Amino acid sequence: MSAAILETRNLCMSFGALEVARGVNFRLERGARHALIGPNGAGKTTFVNLLTGLLRPSRGSVLLEGEDVTALAQAKRVKRGISRTFQINQLFRGLTVQENVGIAVSERLGVGGSMLRPAGKRADVIAEASRLIEMLKLGEDAGRRVAELPYGRQRLVEIAIALGLNPRVLLLDEPAAGIPSAESHILLDAIATLPAEIAVLIIEHDMDLVFRFAERITVLVSGAILAEGAPAEIAVNREVRSVYLGSALDA
Partner 1 sequence: MSAALELTRRHQLKWWEALPWIVALAAFLAFPTYLAFGTQLLITILFALSLDLVLGYAGIVTLGHAAFFGAGAYTAGMMAMHWGWNEPISGLFAAALVAGAIGLASGLVLLRTHGLTLLMLTLCTMALLEQAANMGAAWTGGFDGMPGLSFGKILGLFGFDVLYFRSQYLYVLAVLFLCFVIVRTLVYSSFGQSLTGIRENVLRMHAVGAPVRARQVLVYTVSAALAGVAGALFTQATGYANLAVLGLERSAGVLIVLILGGYGRLYGAFVGAVAYMLIEDVLAKAYPTAWQLGLGLTLIAVALFARNGVIGLFDALRRRLAGAAR
β-strand pairing of 59-64 with 6-15: antiparallel
Paired residues of 7 in beta bridges:
27, 63
Question: In the complex with partner 1, which residue's Cβ is closer, 36 or 103?
Answer: 103
> Least distance (Å) from partner 1 to the CB of residue 185?
23
Per-residue mark of binding to partner 1, 170-209 (x: CB under 8 A): ----------------------------------------
Which residue among 30, 79, 205, 241 contacts partner 1 (CB under 8 A)? 79
Answer for which of 96, 154, 218, 237 binds partner 1 (CB under 8 A) is 96
- What minimum distance in Å lies between the beta carbon of 83 and partner 1? 8
Amino acid at 11: L
Q: What does the chain come to in residues?
A: 251
Task: Pick the binder of partner 1 from 27, 33, 34, 84 (CB under 8 A).
Answer: 84
Residue 107 touches partner 1, criterion: CB under 8 A:
yes
Closest to partner 1 by CB, 93 vs 185, is 93
Identify which of residues 86 and 244 has a Cβ nearer to partner 1 in the complex: 86
Give CA separation, 73 vs 4, 19, 56, in Å: 21, 22, 9
The amino acid at residue 239 is: E
The Cα–Cα gap between 12 and 224 comes to 9
Select from 27-35, 38-46, 159-167, 220-228 the region that touches partner 1 (CB under 8 A).
159-167
Based on the shown chain and the rule CB under 8 A, indicate whether residue 95 belongs to the binding site for partner 1: yes
- Residue 194 φ then ψ, to 5°: -65, 145
Contacts of 37 (CB under 8 A, 6+ apart): 44, 203, 204, 205, 207, 210, 217, 218, 219, 220, 244
Lay out the sheet containing 67-68: strands in order across.
18-28, 6-15, 59-64, 67-68
Residue 30 or 79 having the CB closest to partner 1: 79
Out of 14, 61, 87, 130, point to the residue binding partner 1 (CB under 8 A).
130
Given a contact cutoff of 8 angstroms between Cβ atoms, the answer to whether 94 and 145 are in contact is yes
Task: Give the span between the Cα atoms of 138 and 91, in whole angstroms.
Answer: 15
Is 47 among the residues that bind partner 1 (CB under 8 A)?
A: no
Contact 98, 164 (CB under 8 A): no
Interaction of residue 143 with partner 1, rule CB under 8 A: yes
Q: Does 235 bind partner 1 (CB under 8 A)?
A: no
Q: How far is the CB of 112 from partner 1 (least distance, A)?
A: 5
Residue ranges that bind partner 1, judged by CB under 8 A: 52, 54, 73-76, 78-79, 83-84, 86, 90-99, 102-104, 106-108, 111-123, 125-127, 129-130, 133, 139, 142-143, 161, 164-165
